[in-house]
Amino acid sequence: MQQQSEAAAAPSSAWAAGKGSALMSLRDVYKQFPSGRQTVRAVDGVSLDVLQGETLGLVGESGCGKSTLGRVVTQLQPATAGSIFFEGKDLAALHGEDLRQMRRRVQMIFQDPYGSLNPRMTVGNIIGEPLRNFGLAHGKERDRQVQEIMRVCGLNPNFNNRYPHEFSGGQRQRIGIARSLILRPNFIVADEPISALDVSIQAQIINLLEQLQDDFNLTYLFIAHDLSVVRHLSDRVAVMYLGVIVEVANSLELYDNPLHPYTTALLQSIPVPDPVIEKDRTPIILSGEIPSPINPPSACRFHTRCPIAQPICSEVRPELLDYGNGHLAACHFAGKLQGSLAEKVAEESVAEIRAAIVADEPGGVDGATPVTA
């Protein structure tokens, strides 16, 4: 019998701090929005662990539900259903001071630093506002803490009386980061924190986030559109498609040995810096638009665009199964459409793979067989 992924089991209530334990756990989480008489299924049954001290990259095409998942995790929006555990405690059971402490320790960094900063407030007041809201520091002590975090984030502490429009895009993102850090959180959801910035500034912000992770012992859920951004930054990567997680793996493993056809297609859409390899590559082009989350495809969400889809794919929802070492994939034919970032999966081989699996049973290929109980 196939063993279901760790992600589906309830987390232990005896949470112990330490690298490797799940700091944040989601179990069968849903988030739906009304849209007229219909329902947008933005997050549609996600189970996922974010481990203490790690950076978990979350990638997927626009509209697949990444930001919604981030807002649900940080409690900016309530989940429609499912359970979220922080440090082993069910958030639904937290009240009063426990809930306040959880809100203090879980923060979000946004994509658009300008849009998330109040233009009428000085930078010092913007960064210090959470301290005031939580009643943690006043007057000179608040100023001191604000200037200290400005310095840590690479901002001139003497500029605390200036306004957001007086800063560059990169500096404004540093202001957003300083504000999210002032309460000394241990978990941060960074929602595309560099995608609005010039390429030359992006590396500086990435370096800052990495430095802060070491200095403040932070755990990140790092959201990005594309796998190239999260590659070097993430310890593990989760791939999302139309409200569901389709693959999770150690970062290197995911790039070298993707098991889900969607991940393979995403990887192959990234240009390879080596011009010789790039010239020979024939990326799998994802056919068709991403379907609407109002009426998503049945069973495997990806079957309308998958180059190797079979009848079972539209009939039976594939579970997220563990293929070894925590490499999870939700595909009836996991690992059949191989091809790492540097390799191509040519059209002829896709046709061959399709022909081979028509006569085959669903399940993984050699090296991609679910861990059995």
Ligand X SMILES: Nc1ncnc2c1ncn2[C@@H]1O[C@H](COP(=O)(O)OP(=O)(O)OP(=O)(O)O)[C@@H](O)[C@H]1O
- Judged by the rule CB under 6 A, the positions of this chain that interact with ligand X are 33, 35, 40, 42, 60, 62-68, 225, 293
Composition of the chain by helix, strand, coil, percent to 5: 35, 20, 45
Backbone φ and ψ for 248, nearest 5 degrees, come out as -140, 135
Q: Is 303 in the site for ligand SF4 (CB under 6 A)?
A: yes
The contacts of residue 372 (CB under 8 Å, 6+ apart) are 1, 2, 3
62 close to 225: Cβ distance less than 8 angstroms: yes
Q: In whole angstroms, how close is the CB of 33 to ligand X at the nearest point? A: 3
Answer for which of 40, 212, 267, 309 binds ligand SF4 (CB under 6 A) is: 309
Binding partner selected for residue 62 from Mg ion, ligand SF4, ligand X, none, CB under the kind-specific 5 to 8 Å limit: ligand X
Two structure tokens written together for 213: 């992770």
**Piece of 65-73, 87-95, 286-294, 315-323 that binds Mg ion (CB under 5 A):** 65-73
Q: Is 29 in the site for ligand SF4 (CB under 6 A)?
A: no
Cβ closest to Mg ion, residue 25 vs residue 67: 67
Q: Is 302 in the site for ligand SF4 (CB under 6 A)?
A: yes
Round to whole Å and give the CA distance between 262 and 246.
8
Interface positions, 214-243, toward ligand SF4 (CB under 6 A): none
**Piece of 8-16, 67-75, 282-290, 307-315 that binds ligand SF4 (CB under 6 A):** 307-315
**Piece of 45-53, 97-105, 286-294, 310-318 that binds ligand SF4 (CB under 6 A):** 310-318
The Cβ of residue 64 has, within 10 Å, a number of other Cβ atoms equal to: 24
DSSP notation for 199-210? HHHHHHHHHHHH
Among 37, 36, 38, 12, smallest CA distance to 23 is for 12
Binding partner selected for residue 33 from ligand X, ligand SF4, Mg ion, none, CB under the kind-specific 5 to 8 Å limit: ligand X
Decide: helix, strand or coil at residue 59: strand
- Each residue 249-288 as x (binds ligand SF4 by CB under 6 A) or -, in order, gives -----------xx---------------------------
